[in-house]
Structure 1
Amino acid sequence: MHRAMRGLIQEILGDIAQTGLPGEHHFFITFDTNHPDVELADWLFDRYPHEMTVVLQHWFQDLNVTDEGFSVVLNFGDNPEPIYVPYDAIRTFVDPSVEFGLRFEAQDEDEDDEDEDGEAPMAEMVEPDDTPRPQAEIVSLDKFRR
């Protein structure tokens, strides 16, 4: 199920990379900054040592989508920074404009492994929550229009 949901994220981001964001669509993507394949500037990791939420909305560039993850350049206080996020690091993926969201429960390296209770980890559809999570800060990019 995780692979299917991450495949959906890959498809959505791939479309955005080719055609841009349609209408009012925008994405809040929360990811684990401790994932070994996440790439971000040291100062961002220092500020977000556990998880980070980014917004793909008005200003982003060089969105590149691969089978393993995506890279994008985002603007943090007039400072463009490239980041790379593997799909395995994503914790939530939300499009509030259409009330769509995915949440991925924590998992081991192998998606097919069972958790402590003998059950496979789950991905679930979630209602978008307009309030930021306590450990993450949503960075508004409204003033940096494309």
Structure 2
Amino acid sequence: MTRSIDYGNLMHRAMRGLIHEVLADVAANGLPGKHHFFITFDTQHPDVEIADWLSDRYPGEMTIVLQHWFADLETGEDGFSVTLNFGDNPEPLYIPWDAVKTFVDPSVEFGLRFETQAASQQTPEPEPPPPSPKPEPKGERGAAQVVSLDKFRK
């Protein structure tokens, strides 16, 4: 059997490390400027801790927003916890890094998307060629870019 470098998993760990570092900074110093985050996670991940009514309402995945009000944001080696307000009901959440599917900061047009192992093991459909880059007029912002790590997997 030939040994190979698993770039896909290495990239996933590095990108989750980036999210960990960003959230740790926000926990210590608050959100800077207009930054805010949309974080989508797998509600069925075995280590996710959310209220039963939330997992019933969002049986596959859920997107949370860290922007105006959140409390008790803490990061750890395996995940992060935060309290969010759902209709005037504060709810604590614990989300493992491995459960995160997307992380987007629309204020700076940054985003990451993590594909699951099962999805990466399916036969991928061929991707269309990327569009040729167009010059961007000064002062205008382009669309947000989401980085998909699938193209780096075998």
TM bracket (short chain) = 0.7 to 0.9
* 1:94 to 2:104 alignment: yes
Question: Looking at both structures, which has the greater relative contact order when contacts are Cα pairs under 8 Å and sequence separation is at least 6?
Answer: 1
Match of 1:127 in 2: 145
Aligned 1:4-23 pairs, distance under 5 A:
4-23=14-33
Percent identity reads 71
Answering whether residue 66 of structure 2 is matched by residue 56 of structure 1, we say yes
Alignment-derived partner of residue 68 in structure 1:
78
Task: Point out where structure 1 has 5 or more consecutive residues left out of the alignment.
Answer: 109-113, 118-125, 129-146
- Counterparts of 1:25-64 in structure 2, within 5 Å, are 25-64=35-74
Partner of 2:141: none
Distance in 1 between residues matched to 2:12 and 2:117, nearest whole Å: 10
Give the SS at the match of 2:117. coil
Q: What SS class does the counterpart of residue 26 from structure 2 fall into?
A: helix
Q: Which runs of 4+ in 1 moved over 3 A?
A: none
CA distance in 1, matches of 2:110, 2:117: 22
User: Which residue number in structure 1 is paired with residue 117 of structure 2?
Assistant: 107
- Number of residue pairs matched? 116
CA distance in 1, matches of 2:145, 2:121: 25
Tell me how far 1:53 sits from its aligned partner.
Answer: 0.2
Distance 2:121 2:117 in 1: 8
Larger radius of gyration, structure 1 or 2?
Answer: 2
Take 1:89 and 1:98, find their aligned partners in 2: how far apart are those partners?
23
Give secondary structure in 2 for the equivalent of 1:98.
Answer: coil
What amino acid maps onto 1:45 in structure 2? S
- How far has the Cα of 1:116 moved from its partner? 4.5
How much is the aligned-residue C-alpha RMSD, in angstroms? 1.6
Alpha-carbon distance between aligned partners in 1 of 2:48 and 2:117, rounded to the nearest angstrom: 16
Unaligned residue ranges in structure 2 (runs of 5+): 1-10, 124-143, 147-154
CA distance in 1, matches of 2:59, 2:28: 32
More helix by share: 2
- Aligned to 2:145, the other structure's residue is in SS state coil
Q: Distance in 2 between matches of 1:3 and 1:51?
A: 20
* In the alignment, structure 1 residue 2 sits paired with structure 2 residue 12: yes
Alignment TM-score, normalising by the size of structure 1 = 0.76
Distance in 2 between residues matched to 1:68 and 1:20, nearest whole Å? 21
